[in-house]
């Protein structure tokens, strides 16, 4: 590309200048060092020497560099992989697995990856539905682009400033660890609006948005990020002021793995009442019972008309799954679960009687509890376990084979469609359908505030989930994948359109992917606009500014969109150098 002006690097700190100087002094790697056919031994040695130069405080650089030939490699790689579909030896794996314990080591790892010609994938906790934070996909030529995983699981400190109502949290901390620290250090007066699974790590969750049962009151987790520190493609450490508002906007919902390695998040905490309430109401539908089916369809129809318009304090979700009877026959089970931030059970029952009397919620269905207990309740722990036992246990999430897809709905599904969902949920013994309402703060937030664009006009999202056990037989897997893909395909007439919306934290390679390491904006629009709508273009422009050479690349990373010319006021990249403007 040509331009009227040459972009230049303006180092933001003396440390950055020193890092660039060291990189310039270091001799280039030979092709033999990159690929010696011996399990990455030469690459390992070269990388260790690079880290030693760039992070002199690291006393033993070899401890954080793991090549496929190392005894530690497989166990460390698999440690936080939750989806066993991608723990197979057939899965293309990283050329190096890097386990930095400090921010300085993260900076060195990223800088050395760039020098060694490796792209970077950051991993914080492994709850990655398509595994793109730690694996690649075989491309048309049968090879995968060489990459390294920078695993930031060790960066897991949580510091709560209850007086200022903020917390600073490392990407490797789990939501459970964050919730526990916030409740403990605020005396139960503060909480944080994010997801219900305590073993999900903060790094990936906030990078994609982060919705949960408080989103109608307080928005997404990403909506409540007020600062961050990110290691960029040159190994620089940038806070919000240094990275600029465009970069800061992109990391709060633009998906993990495109704009750098976030090593610290500062989040705004929200006030929570001393007592919240929750209920669970179940409706079992006997297959073949027409009256039961019709009654349940009417209930779901009323729920979908009011759930997004309830008072912001009230979140009521619906879920469908198969329930087995004594004869082993599957029947649809519909479960309604709620969180009420407006007070105790009497207030909850009054609200439900006013807005959804068809559900018939009574005081016996409801429980009063603290906010921190409600996080256990939503995860399924209703008695006996303490918050510490559940929220601080990083091993609770079972490892399974699974596939997830997601839709958004903008118009209520007609009765025939709801009946069809009830029929389809029993077709696979491991299938389930979760429906989370939006509205409230989700609708009130402008679409352009963060990359998460599914705001006003979106009634709820629908999650299709299928899991199966340890039988990795391909035909067995194909049957489950066929079910979840079939339900998603069947939902086409009822889902959002132009484009059909998706959620980047529920990554789905069925929507499309970057191929053979060649990422273009036009080719990626097919799936990018499903995740981000009109915000995709802005994300691609930020990518061109902060990572034009695509050091941070994956099959669904954001592509760069280059704009040339001084008069446009937009960005231009040349030879991997970029300006601070």
Q: Which helix (H) or strand (E) holds 432?
A: strand 431-437
Query: Which CATH number, 3.90.1150.200, 3.40.120.10, 3.40.462.20, 3.90.79.10, labels domain 276-368+396-491?
Result: 3.40.462.20
Return d(Cα 133, Cα 86) in angstroms, integer: 11
Q: Which residues of 437-460 are buried (b: 16+ CB within 10 A; e: fewer)?
A: bbbbbbbebebebbbbbbbeebbb
Return d(Cα 194, Cα 302) in angstroms, integer: 27
**CATH code of the region 50-151:** 3.30.43.10
Q: Would you state the pLDDT for residue 194?
A: 98
Q: Running DSSP on this structure, what letter comes out for residue 281?
A: E
Q: First and final CA of the chain: distance in angstroms?
A: 19
From residue 443, how far is each of 192, 343, 440 by CA, in Å?
19, 23, 6
Which residues of the chain does CATH 3.30.43.10 include? 50-151
How many CB atoms are located within 10 Å of the residue 331 CB?
A: 18
How many CB atoms are located within 10 Å of the residue 90 CB?
A: 7
CATH topology of domain 158-271: 3.30.465
Are the C-beta atoms of 201 and 76 separated by less than 8 Å? no
Give the dihedral sign, CA 482/487/492/495.
negative
How many CB atoms are located within 10 Å of the residue 498 CB?
A: 7
- From first to last of the 581 residues of the chain, give the pLDDT tens digit: 333 332 333 334 444 444 444 443 343 343 333 343 444 678 999 999 999 999 999 999 999 999 999 999 999 999 999 999 999 888 999 999 999 999 999 999 999 999 999 999 999 987 899 999 999 987 665 666 799 999 999 999 999 999 999 999 999 999 999 999 999 999 999 999 999 999 999 999 999 999 999 999 999 999 999 999 999 999 999 999 999 999 999 999 999 999 999 999 999 999 999 999 999 999 999 988 999 999 999 999 999 999 999 999 999 999 999 999 999 999 999 999 999 999 999 999 999 999 999 999 999 999 999 999 999 999 988 777 899 999 999 988 889 999 999 999 999 999 999 999 999 999 999 999 999 999 999 999 999 999 999 999 999 999 999 999 865 555 678 999 999 999 999 999 999 999 999 999 999 999 999 987 667 899 999 999 999 999 999 999 999 999 999 999 999 999 999 975 533 434 343 333 223 32
The owner of tokens 């037989």 is 473
Sheet holding 225-231, edge to edge: 158-161, 166-169, 261-268, 225-231, 237-238
Q: Would you state the pLDDT for residue 88?
A: 87
Return d(Cα 350, Cα 364) in angstroms, integer: 13
Are the C-beta atoms of 494 and 464 separated by less than 8 Å? no
Which residues of the chain does CATH 3.40.462.20 include? 276-368+396-491
Are the C-beta atoms of 397 and 197 separated by less than 8 Å? yes
How many CB atoms are located within 10 Å of the residue 563 CB?
A: 14
Cβ neighbours of residue 472 closer than 8 Å, sequence gap 6 or more: 84, 88, 401
pTM over 0.95: no
Q: Would you state the pLDDT for residue 6?
A: 28
Structure tokens at 283: 């409706």
Which residues of the chain does CATH 3.30.465.10 include? 158-271
From residue 271, how far is each of 186, 346, 347, 439 by CA, in Å?
10, 21, 19, 20
Q: Would you state the pLDDT for residue 16?
A: 45
Q: Would you state the pLDDT for residue 520?
A: 86
């Amino acid at each position: 590309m040509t331009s009227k002006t040459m972009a230049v690097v303006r180092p933001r700190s003396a440390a950055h200048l020193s890092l660039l100087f060291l990189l310039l002094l270091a001799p280039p790697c030979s092709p033999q060092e990159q690929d010696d056919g011996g399990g990455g031994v030469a690459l390992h040695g070269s990388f260790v020497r690079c880290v030693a130069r760039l992070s002199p405080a690291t006393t033993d650089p070899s401890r954080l560099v793991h090549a496929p030939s190392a005894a530690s490699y497989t166990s460390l790689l698999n440690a936080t992989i939750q989806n066993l579909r991608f723990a197979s030896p057939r899965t293309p794996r990283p050329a190096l697995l890097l386990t930095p314990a400090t921010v300085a080591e993260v900076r060195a790892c990223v800088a050395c990856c760039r020098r060694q010609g490796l792209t970077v994938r950051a991993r914080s906790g492994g709850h990655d539905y398509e595994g793109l934070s730690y694996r690649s996909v075989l491309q048309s030529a049968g090879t995968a682009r060489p990459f390294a995983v920078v695993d930031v699981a060790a960066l897991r400190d949580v510091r709560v400033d209850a007086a200022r109502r903020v917390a600073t949290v490392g990407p490797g901390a789990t939501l459970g660890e964050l919730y526990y620290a916030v409740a403990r250090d605020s005396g139960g007066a503060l909480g944080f609006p994010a997801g219900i699974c305590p073993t999900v790590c903060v790094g990936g969750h906030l990078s994609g948005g982060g919705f949960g049962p408080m989103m109608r009151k307080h928005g997404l987790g990403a909506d409540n990020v007020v600062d961050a520190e990110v290691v960029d493609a040159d190994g620089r450490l940038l806070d919000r002021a240094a990275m600029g508002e465009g970069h800061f906007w992109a990391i709060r919902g633009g998906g993990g793995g495109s704009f750098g390695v976030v090593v610290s998040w500062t989040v705004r905490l929200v006030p929570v009442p001393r007592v919240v309430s929750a209920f669970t109401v179940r409706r079992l539908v006997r297959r073949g019972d027409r009256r039961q089916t019709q009654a349940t369809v009417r209930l779901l129809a009323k729920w979908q008309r009011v759930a997004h318009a309830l008072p912001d304090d009230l979140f009521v979700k619906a879920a469908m799954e198969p329930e087995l009877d004594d004869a082993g026959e599957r029947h649809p089970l519909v479960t309604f679960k709620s969180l009420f931030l407006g007070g105790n059970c009497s207030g909850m029952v009054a609200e439900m009687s006013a807005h959804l009397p068809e559900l018939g919620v009574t005081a016996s269905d409801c429980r009063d509890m603290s906010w921190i207990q409600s996080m256990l309740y939503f995860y399924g722990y209703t008695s006996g376990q303490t918050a510490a036992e559940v929220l601080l246990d990083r091993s609770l999430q079972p490892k399974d084979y699974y596939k997830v897809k997601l839709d958004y709905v903008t118009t209520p599904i007609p009765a025939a469609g709801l009946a069809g969902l009830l029929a389809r949920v029993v077709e696979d013994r491991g299938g389930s359908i979760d429906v989370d309402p939006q509205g409230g703060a989700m609708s009130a937030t402008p679409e352009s505030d963060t990359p998460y664009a599914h705001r006003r006009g979106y009634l709820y999202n629908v999650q299709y989930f299928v899991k199966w056990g340890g039988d990795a037989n391909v035909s067995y897997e194909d049957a489950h994948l066929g079910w979840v893909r079939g339900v998603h395909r069947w939902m086409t007439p009822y889902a959002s359109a132009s484009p059909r919306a998706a959620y980047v934290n529920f990554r789905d390679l069925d929507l499309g992917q970057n191929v053979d390491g060649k990422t273009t904006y036009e080719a990626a629009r097919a799936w990018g606009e499903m995740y981000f709508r009109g915000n995709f273009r802005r994300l691609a422009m930020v990518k061109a500014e902060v990572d034009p050479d695509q050091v941070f690349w994956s099959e669904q990373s954001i592509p760069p969109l280059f704009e040339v010319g001084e008069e446009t006021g937009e960005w231009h990249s040349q030879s991997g150098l970029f300006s601070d403007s």
